[in-house]
Structure 1
């Protein structure tokens, strides 16, 4: 394995928010717990960690460099600025896939607001990074409600990831907001490892070991 002190890790965590007006937005239930657990595990492994986090209610992990962002666009710009210097990118963030085409500058009054909102796609941060990766290891996350492995493998191939971490969401006890998780780590060569159910901290420690750049 490469010397742990030489590994620079870039992690994204939490949700993004896409605003309709200054007081309303669309988002998702991600709390950032898995990403923050990975950041802590990476620091414990001796890595240098840059953590780009959407709006979360978590304490900043000791030893990381935290970059708070809100929207998908802000996350894209911050990840873009840090990507070339990293050895491994771990994209745990639940980035909004869509945003309103029009963001109103003032609060829309209830009686006057349109009941129809037109959306546009946000930039795919993971794919944007892998299209220009050099020697970086890229780990994607796939949160799915069904056909977990099939969708995760398709995402890994389409976005040229070295690994994909698949987990089922929408069930009690694991995934979004929970303190525990059960995930399937799939490598580009088709091999896979089931981790959990266990605490997100325990799973994070295992993942950091398994995806470490330069491991034998």
Structure 2
């Protein structure tokens, strides 16, 4: 943790007293710690105590802006390498899971693009409530690590599950999580995303239904695992992670040029983009007027980016995608072989639950030996984490 910038969020639980020890241990391990406290947390412990331990000002009010040259909650959000919410109440967990920003803690966390760890503390009935369990699952799907509560003596006077784990255990688990965040350290990864667009005239174009969500999730997961990531995207979605370099393209030729220009300097190429297979042979420089019942447009094949880049392949590890509507595995294996890929991720886009624009996916991981793993229907962020683990193993 030496020289790591850690934002510690303390919310309204009696377990807040443990966060004083946690702050001290973080500092002892070499971290630079800034504390953000909810109103409820201040009922149990004081900001002065955390200020004394961390030697940094404690942020307690969204509208307290001592420095006119910065917006404090954005400054903390973008400053932090890691954010730890300990204790995290059921209320705070619900806010994070649902994107609510109505206090100093939830507002700052919503603006935080880097890794988050949530350490719950609450009564056992609150922990077991279906709403809390749904929110916990949502946080995990969003890539947030949960340090689960333990059985122990609660404030209510009896032993049950809901007690926040001890500060020493939090430090150990955080260290394990941070090791995972170094799985791809030192690797340069190029990710493509979105559906390309091929013009017909100045107004019309040919495209597909790809949203780019899968590629963006992969880029985020790789960056969180320590890789140097460049995202070449045909989508207009925004990237929240400041550690991802973005290059925007429109056509298949644009994407080919961008991939080839970067290919020699990378370790891994992940082709998650849905590149158009055909484009108009002739692009009109004027809008084509409606004239008659039929319009004939002659199409020609677009360049095959994977085939082109494998011609200049050295030691790069190349990952492709196969979005199919039938014979998923047969077609995917054929694509893996013909395009000389190291790994292929196949998904059935005929299923509306995991098709284009969905937040979820179901992937079959395929290499030269066939299908070696298959996910459940789960978030694209969760699938991206699995891909990161596979990449770290294969690259080693």
- Could you say which TM-score interval applies, normalised by the shorter chain? over 0.9
User: Are residues 1:70 and 2:250 paired?
Assistant: yes
Q: Deviations over 1:125-179 (max 9, x none)?
A: 0111112210000000000001000000000000000001000012211021000
Structure 1 residue 141 corresponds to structure 2 residue 324: no
CA distance in 2, matches of 1:44, 1:3: 9
Listed as ranges, the gaps of 5+ residues in structure 2 are 1-181
Contact persistence 2:193–2:235 (CA under 8 A) = no
- Once the two structures are superposed, the pairs formed by residues 80-159 of structure 1 within 5 Å of their partners are 80-111=260-291, 115-159=295-339
**Relative to structure 1, is the Cα distance of residues 152 and 171 closer, same or farther in structure 2, using a 3 angstrom cutoff?**
same
The 3 A distance-change label for structure 1 pair 98 and 128 is same
Q: Return the alpha-carbon distance in structure 1 between the equivalents of residues 293 and 310 of structure 2.
A: 40
Counterpart residue number, 1:179: 359
Q: Specify the SS of the correspondent of 1:86.
A: coil
In the aligned structure 2, how far is the partner of 1:108 from the partner of 1:119?
16
Q: What SS class does the counterpart of residue 210 from structure 1 fall into? A: helix
Following the alignment from structure 2 to structure 1, what is the Cα–Cα distance between the partners of residues 345 and 358?
A: 17
* 1:196 to partner: Cα distance: 2.4
**Structure 1 Cα separation of the partners of residues 289 and 262 of structure 2:** 40
The DSSP-based 3-state class of the residue aligned with 1:46 is coil
Q: 1:5 to 1:93 in 2, by over 3 A?
A: same
Structure whose residues are more often helix by fraction: 2
Find out whether 1:59 has 2:238 as its counterpart.
yes
- What is the number of equivalent residue pairs in this alignment? 215
Q: Structure 1, unaligned stretches of length 5 or more?
A: none
Length-normalised TM-score, structure 2: 0.52
* Structure richer in strand, relative to its length: 1
Measured in 1, the distance between the counterparts of 2:330 and 2:188 equals 31
After superposition, give the CA deviation of every residue in 1:94-148 in whole Å (9 maximum; x if it has no partner): 0000000000111111127961110000000011111221000000000000100
1:35 aligns with 2:222: no
Distance 1:3 1:180 in 2: 24
Corresponding residue number in structure 2 for 1:26? 206
Deviation of the 1:188 alpha carbon: 2.0
Matched, 1:212 2:388: no
Structure label with greater radius of gyration: 2
Of structures 1 and 2, the one with the larger relative CO (CA 8 A, separation 6+) is 1
Q: Does the C-alpha gap of structure 1 residues 61 and 86 become closer, same or farther in structure 2, counting only changes over 3 Å?
A: farther
> What TM-score do the two structures reach when normalised by structure 1?
0.94
* 1:16 equivalent in structure 2: 196
RMSD: 1.8
Residue pair 2:230, 2:244 contacting (<8 A) in 1 also: yes
1:190, distance to aligned residue in structure 2 (A): 2.7
